[in-house]
Amino acid sequence: MKMKTPKVLLQSLSLFVMLLATEAIANDKENGKVIMTNPLNLSYKFEEKDPVHRTGADPVIILYKDKYFLFSSHAAGYSYSDNLRDWTHMFSKMPLVKEWAPAVMVYDDYIYYLGFGNNKLYRSNDPLNDKWELVEGAELPGTGDPDFFIDNDGRVFFLYGCSSGGPMKGYEVDPKNNFRRISEEVDMMPYNGERLGWEVPGNHNEKTNEKGWNEGVSMVHEGDHYYFFYATPGTEYTTYCSGAYVGKSPLGPFEPMEGSPYAIRPDGFFTGGGHGHPFKDRYGNQWYVASLIIGTREHYERRIGIFPAFYNNGYAHAITDGFDKPFVVPDKKMDFEKESILLNMNILSINKTMTASSTLNEMTPDKAADDNIRSWWSAQTGKNGEWLQMDLGRTMSVEALEVCFADEGFKSYRYDKNIPVYKYLVEGSDDGEKWHTVLDRSNNTKDQIYELFVLPKANPIRYLRVTNKTDFAVGQFSVSDLRVFGRAKGKVPPLVKGFNAIRQADRRRIVMSWEPQQEANGYIVRWGTTEERMNHASRVYTTDINYGFFDSEQTYYVSVQPFNEKGLGKMSKIIKVE
């Protein structure tokens, strides 16, 4: 479905004031709007042992006393925010904060917290001061990937499941009587990989002789329907997503939702969308917070993103299309199915010419412009003065930029007091000779690696240079992507020709191909189970794809749309795939 960006959001861009200091990225008090992008710009914590890597995954966001609290796996604490963009992490002394995949809920004016595989339940009515108490006598099993679901009538259900080929389970509990089970335990949904391609493991769902790993359950009750979500086929795969079942009662029966998965992003700057949790903001807008996949240094290397969501008469969708670009956090109730919060910016930096002060091994400068969070450029050293430069090819109107760092060679661990902090300078130029300051972060004090900056007005720039302004004691200055957003003059690419989509003998798989479009930088592939709801999208740079995450019993509608720095071209013909 094509959605229009509200005029008020586009007009607000000119009001933004860039604060070149260490504390804020946009001046919310003056412009009244909060702009952000994904992944969340958190202080992602390093793990406690080698291989050295940051991670954040299996997230839950709750709204408690008008603040947002974010809990995730192995965070050794939790984060809080007033606006969903700017988060403060605090280490906690609560015993379970090092567990995987926490179950968190707000009930009876308390936050309740239960960790993976643990039967001890804690609660707090003062999380900002880290005051937690053990819930004595709570009767909960030590299960994998637990979750609490509070129905609209206040009834509480305990859901869980984490296995290869096993079912997801659930039952009702009485929170006023030690969380004692008060209903029969039921199988909420079976493993169904023979039908549902998204449950087949592999980066391309190619491991058809294996069973995927179903986990990370959650539920939403909207209207007459209950939506049951689960993560699959495994957190290390780029096809990690959130499948969905739908039913009319909290314990089922459930059937696979038409249009599932609920959240999936198989290609693009980041991939993933599995093992997350639905939540509402303070205005009642629906969101989904999910795990995003890195998996380069270590199996469980992940990040976190948030996506607007909607529910409509048995259909649910978390919108991942475009949400690696700047968007506005709304300050009112919105209809995300019909209204977009994306700013009208294009990605200007994909596959641009890159040069650098030095290069470490195969981590070449071009990898900082390849639209892939899992690759990066690294300098040979971490010394002050190392730089990375981008040539946009021609002068373009730059409205925002995001510097994504990569931690190459770092030797940092979770509780180290002196975590390396990136200090840097971004300069712009028309000719590559005379430079002016675009952004000065040389006094930065925050441990954050995905900083988005919206410029107070569009800047005509051809060359951008990021220069290291500190000396790392250990490790190299490294950038996974220098992402530039704005507009370029010219024309959008013309209609793609020769588009074909063929269902394979394995009906979970559809192969699509088209003729290359010379004016295109890449392509957006779109699909859905009805022509009106082609909400799923994937950004690719080839002219043929082979996706295996389809429901073998559903008809699909697919198309492809070219893009360049000017914007999106027209969608191709829509093909019905029986």
**Sequence-distant (≥ 6) Cβ neighbours of residue 505 within 8 angstroms:** none
- Paired tokens of 537: 């999208």
| Cα 133 from Cα 300, distance rounded (Å) | 30
DSSP lists the bridge partners of residue 402 as 452, 483
Flag whether pLDDT at 16 surpasses 80: no
- Paired tokens of 238: 């780029």
Confidence band (pLDDT; 50, 70, 90) for 31? low
Across 215-219, 287-291, 297-301, 475-479, least confident range: 297-301
Peptide bond into 190 cis (omega under 30): no
User: What is the share, in percent, of the chain residues with pLDDT greater than 90?
Assistant: 91
How many Cα atoms are found within 13 Å in the side-chain-facing hemisphere of 133?
A: 7
User: What would the pLDDT profile of 118-133 be if each residue is shown by its tens digit?
Assistant: 999 999 999 999 999 9
Mean pLDDT of 364-371: 98
Q: Fill in the DSSP letter of residue 196.
A: B
pLDDT for the residue numbered 67: 98
CATH classification number, 346-487, choose in 1.20.120.80, 2.60.120.260, 3.20.20.70, 1.10.10.10: 2.60.120.260
Contact 209, 563 (CB under 8 A): no
| Cα 572 from Cα 560, distance rounded (Å) | 5
pTM here? Answer: 0.93
User: What would the pLDDT profile of 259-309 be if each residue is shown by its tens digit?
Assistant: 999 999 999 999 999 999 999 999 999 999 999 999 999 989 999 999 999
The 3-class SS string of 493-539 reads: CCCCCCCEEEECCCCCCEEEECCCCCCCCEEEEEEECCCCCCCEEEE
Peptide bond into 365 cis (omega under 30): no
Flag whether pLDDT at 220 surpasses 80: yes
Please, what is the average pLDDT of the chain? 93
The 3-class SS string of 261-320 reads: CCECECCCCCEEEEEEEEEECCCCCEEEEEEEECCCCCCCCEEEEEEEEEEECCEEEECC
Mean pLDDT of 344-348: 96
pLDDT for the residue numbered 187: 96
Flag whether pLDDT at 28 surpasses 70: no
Contact 381, 476 (CB under 8 A): yes
Specify which of 32-36, 214-218, 295-299 reaches the highest per-range mean pLDDT.
214-218
**Using alpha carbons only, how large is the chain's radius of gyration in Å?**
23
Residue 83: closest CA among 118, 47, 35: 35
Contact 492, 564 (CB under 8 A): yes
| Cα 235 from Cα 164, distance rounded (Å) | 12
Flag whether pLDDT at 577 surpasses 80: yes
Q: What's the CATH number for 500-577?
A: 2.60.40.10
User: What would the pLDDT profile of 487-510 be if each residue is shown by its tens digit?
Assistant: 999 999 999 999 999 999 999 999
Residue 384: closest CA among 413, 402, 357, 360: 357
pLDDT for the residue numbered 24: 36
Flag whether pLDDT at 9 surpasses 70: no
Which residue is associated with the tokens 């049951």?
Answer: 228
Mean pLDDT of 212-231: 97
Q: What's the CATH number for 38-324?
A: 2.115.10.20
Flag whether pLDDT at 32 surpasses 80: no
For the chain, the domains span 38-324, 346-487, 500-577
pLDDT for the residue numbered 10: 35
User: What would the pLDDT profile of 541-571 be if each residue is shown by its tens digit?
Assistant: 999 999 999 999 999 999 999 999 999 999 9
pLDDT for the residue numbered 418: 86
Residue 426: closest CA among 445, 397, 457, 451: 451
pLDDT for the residue numbered 30: 38
